[in-house]
Amino acid sequence: MRILIVEDDPTLADGLTRSLGQSGYAIDRASNGEQANTMLQNAAYDLAILDLGLPKMDGTEVLKRLRQRGGRTPVLILTARDAIEDRVQGLDLGADDYLTKPFNLVELEARVRALIRRGQLGSNAALHCGNLEFDPSGRRATNGNTPLELSSRELGVLEVLMLRQNKVVNKEQIMEALCNWDEDLGDNAIEVYIHRLRKKLESSGARIRTIRGLGYLLEEDRAS
Q: Taking all residues of the chain, what is their mean pLDDT, rounded to a whole number? A: 87
pLDDT score of 123 more than 60: no
Mean pLDDT, residues 81-91: 90
Q: Which of 152, 160, 196, 194 is nearest to 177 (CA)?
A: 160
Query: Rounded distance, CA 25 to CA 31, Å?
Result: 19
The rounded Cα 4 to chain-centroid distance in angstroms is: 9
pLDDT score of 115 more than 90: no
Q: Does domain 2-121 have CATH number 3.40.50.2300?
A: yes
Comparing 29-38, 74-83, 109-118, 122-131, the range with the smallest average pLDDT is: 122-131
Q: Does domain 127-220 have CATH number 3.40.718.10?
A: no
CA-to-CA dists, residue 178 to 32, 77, 86, 160, angstroms = 23, 23, 34, 9
Confidence of residue 61 (pLDDT cuts 50, 70, 90): very high
pLDDT digits (tens, 9 = 90+) for 146-155: 999 998 889 8
pLDDT score of 119 more than 80: no
pLDDT at 24: 79
Query: Rounded distance, CA 147 to CA 100, Å?
Result: 35
pLDDT at 180: 59
Query: Rounded distance, CA 34 to CA 56, Å?
Result: 6
Comparing 7-21, 29-43, 105-119, the range with the smallest average pLDDT is: 105-119
Return the higher-pLDDT residue of 10 and 173: 10
Burial 56-87 (b: 16+ CB within 10 A, else e): eeebbbbbebbeeeebebbbbbbbebeeeebb
pLDDT at 143: 93
| Side chain identity, residue 115 | L
Spatial strand order of the sheet with 168-169 comes to 168-169, 215-220, 206-211
pLDDT at 42: 87
pLDDT at 23: 81
pLDDT at 60: 94
pLDDT digits (tens, 9 = 90+) for 175-212: 877 765 555 667 788 899 999 999 999 999 999 999 98
pLDDT at 44: 83
Spatial strand order of the sheet with 47-50 comes to 26-30, 2-6, 47-50, 75-79, 97-100
- The domain locations on the chain are 2-121, 127-220
pLDDT at 13: 94
